[in-house]
Structure 1
Amino acid sequence: MTSRPTTLRFGYGTNGLADLRLDDALALLADLGYDGVGLTLDHMHLDPLAPDLAARTRRTARRLAELGLEVTVETGARYVLDPRRKHGPSLLDPDPEARARRVDLLVRAVRVAADLGAHAVHCFSGTVPPTSDPATAWQRLAASLTPVLDAAATAGIPLAVEPEPGHLLATLADFHHLRRLLGDPPALGLTLDIGHCQCLEPLPPADCVRLAAPWLRHVQIEDMRRGVHDHLPFGQGEIDFPPVLAALAATGYRGLTVVELPRHSHAGPQHAEISLPFLRRAAATGIPAAVPEESTP
């Protein structure tokens, strides 16, 4: 019998709905037919640093259950730790106390993810500080992630590290370098951003999906052009999506595939409305012709 591709489940990132209250954003996505949400912990959406986090998380979990939405926890809020430095401090910061603040945020995110029943916790490395060399930066990254991975293993929630253009960990090859540095811990997984594959990976995005499959724990998706790190609405970049989605379905990936349009929050509801039909059409186009079930002659 020939296996059939897994049905993909689509979500939308709350970092692209930053002008909406969290409850309004979740209701919108459920009404539009999304399967889930990429929930970025930020001051406007389940603030990870405000009081009563556990109680607020329980309320959010109940709301997700009422709406039938799955969730992945994302940690890419721009100014949640430092109002003056985008994504600061990072796991690579020269100051150990500053690095510890980022580690604490990620451990909090793991606890939130466990309480929400999330598929994974997403994170990224950060950029190399001007005063640091790459070798030192890799050492800091590995050391900083160790307690987060311990927390993730205890919670049973994978930590899905995202290769990010311009960061220390920018490519799939960099992810495997980190994996080897850490001794290939079971809790370490991969966030694959399809646009980033188009932007800077040497292989086409569909090939990246196939190569990433064993470690794939979270997927982000948007359009993009080669060599330009600009998250674009579908149809405004260069990606041929049916082969990408067919490759993703064929891997058996069971998490969410989350639309990532953080610079389009000013029109977030409109982009959420048009993105899901686009993805469903592209997924249907990429499905191969049905193979008859094996039968007895």
Structure 2
Amino acid sequence: MSPQSPPARHEQAAPSTPTARDGAPASPLRFGYGTNGLADLRLDDALGLLADLGYDGVGLTLDHMHLDPLAPELAARTRRLAHRLDELGLGVTVETGARYVLDPRRKHGPSLLDPDPGDRARRTDLLLRAVRVAADLGAHAVHCFSGITPPGTDEETAWKRLAESLAPVLEAAAGSGVPLAVEPEPGHLLADLDGFHRLRHTLGDPEHLGLTLDIGHCQCLEPLPPADCVRAAAPWLRHVQIEDMRRGVHEHLPFGDGEIDFPPVLDALAATGYQGLTVVELPRHSHAGPHFAERSLPFLRRAATATSRTTRSGEPSDTPGREPHP
């Protein structure tokens, strides 16, 4: 299985006139929704909802309410989940951004950068578990992030810890055939595309190190427009997260509530040949998760099938994929 190919068990012969799973016009892109935005639903209910709405897959965040990676009988629970995904025809990527799965008092703690080697090892162990789960599910990637540089830690030490902590995870990913997709996260040590390339070069450009590109993060802090970020990231792209966002504000917003012009972004993404999932990332909207899941897919399909008229000067495209702001 190539790093960008969806799991073989979900492949279907292409119809003569492409349509989405619910009969709507299809784009080359495959859309999913993250379970971190459906945290108030049981996992089976969340999967059923996404299948009924016509999503192609799910971004599965390993957490205490959704395939707890630390609870007993993980392998058996993963096998049951793989069967359920097959029944529903859903692809999957495995995400590791649960806030308190390792430490009930420290958000995203411990990290790969912590001063205590034992704490770093706990995060590495979570990622190793995620790789095994991803392999058993036929996932197209395992997502991770660096973490925030701890107080009193110099930058060189932080990068050294990150590289060392990820080394066994990359070895496991290579053995399983599932790429590790590191996400640049605003405020973290690895915050942007330049940071990804620094890590990649430090590790010797390993084949199974890829990139999770969050489209909102591109709008938030990258110097290039989001569509240009997609093109620049294309050779390493293994997972995509998507939501609206405003420049300079790291807040995941429903589509139409931010500043992103989506048709050019999705045009660029389709042109790369990316075959993994493009997953809606709205973790702070779980209180209304079914509503936003229902609203998001039609928006993305309109944007993906619209003809972009973005000019080189950056004028927004006048297409149905762009919702007006109040």
Q: TM-score range by the shorter chain?
A: over 0.9
Matches for 1:234-273 after TM superposition, within 5 Å: 234-273=255-294
Aligned to 1:139: 160
Percent identity, please.
83
Distance in 2 between residues matched to 1:286 and 1:88, nearest whole Å:
43
Of 203, 220, 244 in structure 2, the residue corresponding to residue 182 of structure 1 is: 203
Matches for 1:60-209 after TM superposition, within 5 Å: 60-209=81-230
Distance in 2 between residues matched to 1:44 and 1:198, nearest whole Å:
31
Distance in 2 between residues matched to 1:234 and 1:6, nearest whole Å:
18
Q: CA deviation at 1:287?
A: 6.4
Counterpart code for 1:238? E
Counterpart code for 1:53? L
Q: CA deviation at 1:131?
A: 1.7
SS at match of 1:234: coil
TM-score normalised to the size of structure 2? Answer: 0.86
Of 38, 57, 63 in structure 2, the residue corresponding to residue 36 of structure 1 is: 57
Distance in 2 between residues matched to 1:57 and 1:134, nearest whole Å:
38
Counterpart code for 2:258? G
Q: CA deviation at 1:286?
A: 3.9
Aligned to 1:57: 78
CA contact (8 A) 1:71 1:117 kept: yes
SS at match of 1:229: strand
Structure 1 runs of 4+ with >2 Å offset: none
Of 304, 312, 321 in structure 2, the residue corresponding to residue 283 of structure 1 is: 304
Aligned to 1:48: 69
Distance in 2 between residues matched to 1:208 and 1:131, nearest whole Å:
32
CA contact (8 A) 2:27 2:301 kept: no
| Structure 1: gaps spanning 5 or more residues | 289-297
CA contact (8 A) 2:110 2:120 kept: yes
| Structure 2: gaps spanning 5 or more residues | 1-25, 310-326
For 1:268-295, what per-residue CA distance to the aligned partner results, in whole angstroms no more than 9, with x for missing partners?
A: 000000000000000011469xxxxxxx
CA contact (8 A) 1:245 1:286 kept: no
CA contact (8 A) 1:6 1:252 kept: no
Aligned to 1:18: 39
Counterpart code for 2:163? A
* Aligned: 1:225 with 2:246: yes
For 1:77-130, what per-residue CA distance to the aligned partner results, in whole angstroms no more than 9, with x for missing partners?
A: 000000000000000000000000000000000000000000000000000000
Which one has the bigger helix percentage?
1
- Paired residues in the alignment total 284
Distance in 1 between residues matched to 2:105 and 2:228, nearest whole Å:
38
SS at match of 1:186: coil
TM-score normalised to the size of structure 1? Answer: 0.95
Q: CA RMSD in A?
A: 1.1
